[in-house]
Amino acid sequence: MIRSLASMAAVVTASMLAVPASADTLVDNVQGVTIDEAGKVARFDALVIADDGRVRALFRQGDDRPEGIEYRVDGKGRVMLPGMIDSHVHVMGIGFGQLTLDLSNTNSLEEALAAIARFAEENPGRPWILGRGWNQEKWGLRRFPTAAELDAIVADRPVWLSRVDGHASWANSLAMERAGITAATQDPSGGRIIRKAGSREPAGVFVDAAETLVNAVVPAPRPADRDVALRKAQDLLLANGITAVADMGTSIEDWQTFRRAGDNGTLKMRIMAYADSAQSMEIIGGPGPTPWLYDDRLRLNGIKLYLDGALGSRGATLKQPYHDEPTHKGLPLLSPAQLRNLMSRAAMDNFQVAIHAIGDAANSEVLNAVEELSLSYSGDRRWRIEHAQIVDPADIALFGHHGIIASMQPLHQTSDRLMAEARLGPERLDGAYAWHSIAEAGAPLAFGSDAPVEPADAFAGFAAAISRTDAKGEPFGGWLPQESVTREAALAAFTSGGAYAGFAEGRFGRLLPGERADFILVDRDPFLSSPQDIRSTTIFETWVNGERIHVAK
């Protein structure tokens, strides 16, 4: 599977010698790895970057290097990989996450309450205490936390904390009071207000659409706050070796933040955007997807739709009831007609459609909708299913039949496995996080993190993808290990597959002549390291468009 690019490089070398190369940069003495045109791993030892930020040529060890190169960089024998592409993130969520309280590392309710108290004390000026990342399952709580527990810590300011999956939030009493929520408040369609046992009194947690009741009264961030958040998000992603992302759910305010950065030259990474609504899609894109802007750094590709919620909060829609709540099958967010209308609305103007579907009922619904709509909307549509976590094995063939992109997040599997077993029971796990089966069916894979839901860590994702084990190496031998993928498939899903999923193939995602020179220099080869070693990869440098924009401290 590993081939040499020597023959191709030789041809390019010859043509290079004929052209002036004064502003070219040669990065030599690297152990280069990329996915090639055939989708296979290829290796090289040096790379020349043209003035426009694109790769001009690759070289093997014995090849003559071109004459007249102005800049030379010694790669010191480090491993060079294409910049990682994270195909499912929330860019502004990552940035605001950096600016608010992060509870994702807390291991108990007590630890979380202590962190909240500390944050409130350290941030006396903030009118609301906002945060994210709590997970009652990880805490071993076996119930949702309550407003009363928060009130004991912070009573003088509203507190509003989003669950790790973004599908539920936890309020103190003042936050509920600001939102006017009482025992009389009804559950909104597609959402649920958790109530005190045997009472209609709200308990403090709001699931899916019910979150909007409180979100509506949270003060909106100012544009300058958004600019800071974008900078924080870029810093984090670039430090992690991620040079391009798909932004899932771009609002007009998010888009304008990206454009401001593009306009003033501070947009460093690449963002493939998917609008958060049909209205945003039309305002941002107008009559169709935007052009690639800022040297391929920004494009509105299409729209993100939500068909169901998450498994953890039992919002995901299942064909059969939840194993651990036998009266409940999840919360559909769109009717079949609404889903098809929105897909048509986007497709008629050639916007790409990316649909969040987690439960097997939701996935089945999307696959059937694509089957129907494909009759009207032909051509290269690249329908995407985001997450595709639980798929009925009987439905998997449809992925391949329509070339539907499976945009999946390996770390969700390692984080969710015990919860998934609880929600689904032991008999319904065959199509759970079924990367291998879905790829075998012929669907293009695009891997991501869903950051800030999971850390934006492509190497942890790579390790999970090839091993079905978590950071502790558990479970031994991997969870449903037949669904792991090869290292080659994992690298492709984090690089060239991510580009293909966003109509960016040929622009970036591979280190091949003509593509953008987006790469990272790291300390180990993911093809020669154990999954545990891959998780510890050190990223020395991150380059985008031929420029070194991050160097590890």
- The nearer residue to a second copy, 228 or 239, going by C-beta atoms, is 228
- The nearer residue to a second copy, 306 or 351, going by C-beta atoms, is 351
Quote the tokens at residue 29: 């003495």
Stretch that binds a second copy, among 81-89, 221-229, 302-310, 454-462 (CB under 8 A): 221-229
- How far apart are alpha carbons 175 and 211 in whole angstroms? 12
| 263 counts as binding a second copy under rule CB under 8 A | yes
Specify whether the CB–CB gap between 399 and 419 falls below 8 A: no
Q: How far is the CB of 281 from a second copy (least distance, A)?
A: 10
Return the residues of window 506-535 that contact a second copy according to CB under 8 A: none
Q: How far is the CB of 252 from a second copy (least distance, A)?
A: 6
Quote the tokens at residue 45: 């030892």
- How far apart are alpha carbons 230 and 13 in whole angstroms? 39
| 282 counts as binding a second copy under rule CB under 8 A | yes
Stretch that binds a second copy, among 81-89, 255-263, 514-522, 535-543 (CB under 8 A): 255-263
Buried/exposed code over 296-315 (b: 16+ C-beta within 10 A; e: otherwise): bbbbbbbbbbbbbbbbbbbb
Stretch that binds a second copy, among 21-29, 258-266, 383-391, 411-419 (CB under 8 A): 258-266
Specify whether the CB–CB gap between 443 and 406 falls below 8 A: yes
- How far apart are alpha carbons 130 and 145 in whole angstroms? 16
| 260 counts as binding a second copy under rule CB under 8 A | yes
- How far apart are alpha carbons 313 and 248 in whole angstroms? 20
- The nearer residue to a second copy, 22 or 107, going by C-beta atoms, is 22
Within 8 A by CB and 6+ apart from 384, the residues are 352, 353, 354, 355, 404, 405, 407, 446, 501
Return the residues of window 283-322 that contact a second copy according to CB under 8 A: 283-287, 290-291, 293
Among 63, 187, 227, 525, interactor with a second copy by CB under 8 A? 227
Stretch that binds a second copy, among 252-260, 412-420, 436-444, 483-491 (CB under 8 A): 252-260
Among 78, 88, 226, 428, interactor with a second copy by CB under 8 A? 226
| 187 counts as binding a second copy under rule CB under 8 A | no
* Strand arrangement, sheet containing 270-275: 84-89, 242-250, 270-275, 298-306, 352-357, 384-387, 405-408, 445-447
Stretch that binds a second copy, among 146-154, 216-224, 447-455, 545-553 (CB under 8 A): 216-224
Count of all residues that appear for the chain in the document: 553
Q: How far is the CB of 270 from a second copy (least distance, A)?
A: 16
Tally of CB atoms within 10 A around 155? 11
Specify whether the CB–CB gap between 254 and 92 falls below 8 A: yes
| 60 counts as binding a second copy under rule CB under 8 A | no
Q: How far is the CB of 509 from a second copy (least distance, A)?
A: 23
Q: Which residues bind a second copy (CB under 8 A)?
A: 222-224, 226-227, 252-253, 256-257, 259-260, 263-264, 282-287, 290-291, 293
